A = this chain, B = another copy of it.
């Protein structure tokens, strides 16, 4: 299913691109390099691997490239999450929430948001 497999480091670049919409290598480097203690060259490698995998596309703009995502963020997020749910929680969401609840790892905000969310779903039916 993950037609295109993205490594963790690569996903950092993807996320920058997703939130920028499109960006030059320099933009991406500015966004992610120092935050991850990466050299410019490292980010460029990641960009190129993503290009080769077809996860992003490049369009020439003068002597530089403008990159934009091909992969769809929400699809990727769904795949990644579903993968973890499948491996750890029988493929369902509720058991994850239950686990975090049992471990006392639900913040008050989480509880508030969850309540609101469930309420809304109920209304909608």
Determine how many copies of this chain the complex contains.
Answer: 2
How many residues of A sit at the interface, in one of the four size bands?
35 or more
Give the secondary structure class of A's interface.
Answer: helix
Across the interface, name the chain B residue whose C-beta is closest to A103: B78
Most B CB contacts (10 A, CB to CB) among A80, A94, A111 go to: A94
Task: Choose one: B88, B110, B122; the contact of A94 (CB below 8 Å).
Answer: B110
Residues 76 to 107 of chain A near chain B (Cβ within 8 Å): 77-78, 80-82, 84, 87-88, 92-101, 103, 105-107
Contacts of A8 in B (CB 8 A): 87
Contact, CB under 8 Å: B111 / A118: yes
Residues of A within 8 A of B (CB): 8, 11, 74, 77-78, 80-82, 84, 87-88, 92-101, 103, 105-107, 109-111, 113-115, 117-118, 121-122
